[in-house]
Amino acid sequence: MSQTVADLRVERKPKLSETVVAAIRKQLLAGEVPPGQKLPTEGQLTETFGVSRTVIREALAKLAADGLVEARQGAGVFVSEHISTTFGVLAADMGAKDSVALNVLEVRLAIEIESAGLAAIRRNAAQEAAIQEAFFEFERLLLASQPTGPADLAFHRAIASATNNPFYVEMLDVLGRRAIPCDVTSPWSTELVQSDEYQRGLQREHLVILNAISAGDAEAAREAMRTHLTRSQQRYRERLQARQAYYANSLKAASTE
Amino acid sequence: MSQTVADLRVERKPKLSETVVAAIRKQLLAGEVPPGQKLPTEGQLTETFGVSRTVIREALAKLAADGLVEARQGAGVFVSEHISTTFGVLAADMGAKDSVALNVLEVRLAIEIESAGLAAIRRNAAQEAAIQEAFFEFERLLLASQPTGPADLAFHRAIASATNNPFYVEMLDVLGRRAIPCDVTSPWSTELVQSDEYQRGLQREHLVILNAISAGDAEAAREAMRTHLTRSQQRYRERLQARQAYYANSLKAASTE
DNA sequence: TATTATGCAGTTGTATGATGACTTTCGAAA
DNA sequence: TTTCGAAAGTCATCATACAACTGCATAATA
């Protein structure tokens, strides 16, 4: 059997344990269980997630491998102490103000540039496929005139994941939630974000990154990611100004009524 | 029940899966199974190691999490194509804590590289002076044969501060507290860290960074910081190995008594 | 009373068997 | 030769049981 282009879009069904890992990780990063605190028992998690204990155990093992939790036989599974001192504090301090958002975006830039370089070196086949998958998904959504935000996020997340350093993913999760501008509901972004030209440009930049990573060229990958993100920064700034102008106008309009 | 000195070093009884992970990882890194090749089935491994499938599966999951192998349902478990030796080799005998520390250090690397570049562009006179000040302080302490750790930290902190992005400083503080190896009480670090030659090397690298920032050359500053930190990573890895050797020796000494 | 020993309930670690889902192989049929 | 499908091999998941360990309450002891 030959390999077609479609095969590259590996739509590999995620393992149950991966779903559980994602869910628990999200909760932990959100600080729903304080560090040092005990997680629900495997039995309880079995009920809440509706899967067998095997799956729960595999998920917890993965989280333990990432250093997020520690299991103590006879006692329970506990959230690692350091995790939230690293990321919780950070998340707590970040207000949603714009000046902050720009600064956060800048930190994210640092993280992602290095991610791209490491991904080029360390990625495995599945991880590379995941990046490609996100790329094609973006393409598909673009052709279907649907919001591409999720695919964009997935693309960057897949790259972070390909570093094989879980902290990069976590950083991106924490930072990205605030910094990624994909607010399709707001009036100032619909025009900009959803314009085909805008998204085509994004996709062109994505392609350069993807090629560099596939080629295993760390230097090129970093450079491609740098130009992509600095341009995104620029676009974000422009959008902020557009929004301010919009508000100014609506205020003026309201006052004249 | 009191905790004796021995308790501190003994660590807990290793799980069976950890033993299996270590064994398989050793074989993989020794190249006994070529990349892309299929591993023995879970059933065979069960017999080989004399443990249950549960344990084998947990071990394989751990290896997959580290990116060493990939499981394909219905086909088998395969060795990853690109076993990054640098990454894998050290992960081989490393506890989870060390692995986490290295990952955090890697994130810090991303942050600091970008800091250097931004500092080169955005620094003001006072900030540049602060960086120089830290540099000279390092020099002074070195000549006086005093611990240079604080000055080193101050140097990096001053650079982060010169980005005029408070988050860089905050990130550095949070990450640095965990990742900076300044364990002067431990026997394996005193020799290495405090050697004049070692610190002279640091200072040479610092100088390159300082010059690049003063010249306003962002690209050069990033590059200088990158080499500085990657070398630091390397030194840190070597120190981990030295520590392992130390423990191995002390264990051997203890067993011959 | 104060301290130690004991037992119990809860939790994680491991073993075992069964079933579903998926991949590969290989032979039969067109 | 090519195509199709059946069957074997393999991983994924479930369910159950028992062993090992922890924390805590209670009883036994000095």
Straight-line distance from CA B7 to C1' D25, in Å? Answer: 27
User: Residue A248 burial (CB < 10 Å; 0-12/13-18/19+)?
Assistant: exposed
pLDDT in tens, B152-184: 888 999 999 999 887 888 788 767 654 444 333
Q: Going by C-beta distance under 8 Å and a sequence separation of 6 or more, which residues neighbour residue A63?
A: A21, A24, A25, A28, A69
Task: Report the pLDDT value the prediction gives residue A168, as an integer from 0 to 100.
Answer: 86
B78 touches chain A (CB under 8 A): no
Please state, for a pLDDT cut of 70, what percent of chain B lies above it: 72
Task: Tell whether B18 is within 8 A of chain A (Cβ).
Answer: no
| Interchain contact B84–A (C-beta under 8 A) | yes
Residue from the list B99, B107, B165 with its beta carbon closest to the beta carbon of A171: B107
List all residues 6 or more positions away from A25 whose beta carbon is below 8 Å from its beta carbon.
A63, A66, A68, A170
**Residues in contact with A216: Cβ distance below 8 Å, sequence separation at least 6, in sequence order:** A120, A121
Q: Give the one of A64, A89, A121 whose C-beta lies nearest to B174's C-beta.
A: A89
Interface of A with B in 100-139 (CB under 8 A): 103-104, 106-107, 109-111, 113-115, 118, 121-127
Amino acid letter, residue B175: L
For A112, name the nearest residue in chain B, comparing CA atoms only. Answer: B110
Quote the pLDDT of residue A7. Answer: 38
Q: How far is the CA of B10 from the C1' of D17 (A)?
A: 31
Q: Can you give the pLDDT at residue B190?
A: 42
Q: Does residue B129 have a pLDDT over 80? A: yes
**pLDDT score at B143:** 84
Amino acid A9: pLDDT: 41
Min mean pLDDT across B131-135, B168-172, B190-194 is at: B190-194
Summarised one tens digit per residue, pLDDT across range B84-120 is 544 444 444 555 566 667 788 888 899 999 999 999 9
Residue B122 Cβ under 7 A from any strand D atom: no
Neighbours of B78 (CB within 10 A): 17
Q: Would you give per-residue pLDDT tens digits along chain A (257 residues)?
A: 333 333 344 445 678 888 898 889 888 877 788 888 899 999 999 999 999 999 999 999 888 887 788 899 988 999 887 655 455 444 444 444 455 667 778 888 999 999 999 999 988 887 888 898 889 888 888 888 777 777 888 899 899 989 988 888 878 877 765 444 443 334 444 444 456 777 788 889 999 999 999 999 999 999 999 999 998 888 777 766 665 555 455 545 555 44
Q: Between the CA of residue B111 and those of A103, A243, B169, B174, B187, what are the distances in Å?
A: 13, 30, 9, 12, 30
For residue A165, give both structure tokens: 């350093």
Q: Which nucleotide is nearest to A18 (CA to C1')?
A: D12
- Strand D within 7 A of A53 CB: yes
In whole angstroms, give the CA distance from residue B220 to residue B211: 9
Q: How many CB pairs under 8 A join A and B?
A: 101
Q: So what's the pLDDT on residue B248? A: 47
Task: Give residue for tokens 């103590």.
Answer: A72
Tokens of B22: 């270590």
Mutate to test the interface with A, among B86, B167, B178, B229 (most CBs of A within 10 A): B167
- What domains appear along chain B, each with residue ranges and CATH number? 5-83 (1.10.10.10), 93-256 (1.20.120.530)
| Contact flag B168-A65 (C-beta cutoff 8 Å) | no
Q: Are A95 and A89 in contact (CB under 8 A)?
A: no
State the pLDDT at residue A1.
Answer: 36
Work out whether the CA dihedral A64, A67, A73, A77 comes out positive or negative.
Answer: negative
Cross-chain CB nearest to A62 (options B65, B167, B178): B65
SS (HEC) of A7-70:
HHCCCCCCCHHHHHHHHHHHHHHCCCCCCCCECCCHHHHHHHHCCCHHHHHHHHHHHHHCCCEE
pLDDT at A248: 53
Radius of gyration of chain B (CA): 23
Q: What is the rounded average pLDDT of the residues B58-74? A: 84
CB of A89 less than 8 A from some CB of B: yes
CA gap B62, B87 in Å, rounded: 15
Residue of B103, B104, B121 to mutate, interface with A, max A Cβ within 10 Å = B103
Residue nearest to nucleotide D21 (CA to C1'): A74
Q: Measure Cα distances from B173 to B50, B166, B170, B179, B182 in Å.
A: 47, 11, 5, 10, 14
Query: Is the C-beta atom of B71 closer than 7 angstroms to strand D?
Result: yes
The pLDDT assigned to A104 comes to 77
Interface of A with B in 23-42 (CB under 8 A): none
pLDDT for B113 equals: 95
SS3 (DSSP) at A165: coil
Mean pLDDT of B143-156: 83
Q: Is A198 exposed, middle or buried (0-12, 13-18, 19+ CB in 10 A)?
A: middle
pLDDT attached to residue A41? 92
Residue-wise over A230-242: b if at least 16 C-beta within 10 A, else e? eebbebbeebbee
8 Å CB contact between B50 and B44? no
Q: How confident is the model at residue B128 (pLDDT cuts 50, 70, 90)?
A: very high
Helix (H, G, I), strand (E, B) or coil at B122: helix
pLDDT at B210: 94
CB contacts, 8 Å: A127 with chain B: 67
Handedness of CA B23, B27, B29, B34 (dihedral sign): negative
Residue of chain B whose alpha carbon sits nearest to that of A84: B174
How many angstroms separate the CA atoms of A215 and A221, rounded?
9
* pLDDT of amino acid B201: 83
pLDDT digits (tens, 9 = 90+) for B25-63: 888 877 788 878 889 989 889 998 999 999 999 999 888
Residue type, B167: F
- Residue B87 makes CB contacts below 8 A (sequence gap 6+) with A122, A164, B67
Measure the CA–CA gap between A66 and A254, rounded to whole angstroms: 53
User: What is the model's pLDDT at position B245?
Assistant: 55
H helix or E strand, kind and range, residue B222: helix B218-256
> Across residues B74-87, what is the average pLDDT?
69
Residues B117 and B218: beta-carbon distance below 8 Å: yes
Of residues A205, A121, A176, A117, the one with CA closest to residue B114: A117
Residue of B nearest to A54 (CA): B54
Q: How far apart are CA B223 and CA A47, in angstroms?
A: 52
CB of B3 within 7 Å of some strand D atom: no
CB contacts of A62 in chain B (<8 Å) are: 61, 65
Tokens (6 digits) for B186: 């431990």
Q: How far apart are CA B220 and CA B117, in angstroms?
A: 8
Who's near A141: CB < 8 A, 6+ residues apart? A147, A148, A150, A151
CA–CA separation, B199 and A86 (whole Å)? 28
Determine whether the interchain pair B118/A109 forms a contact, defined as Cβ–Cβ distance below 8 Å.
no
Chain B environment of A130 (Cβ under 8 Å): none
SS3 content of chain A, % helix, strand, coil (to 5): 75, 5, 25
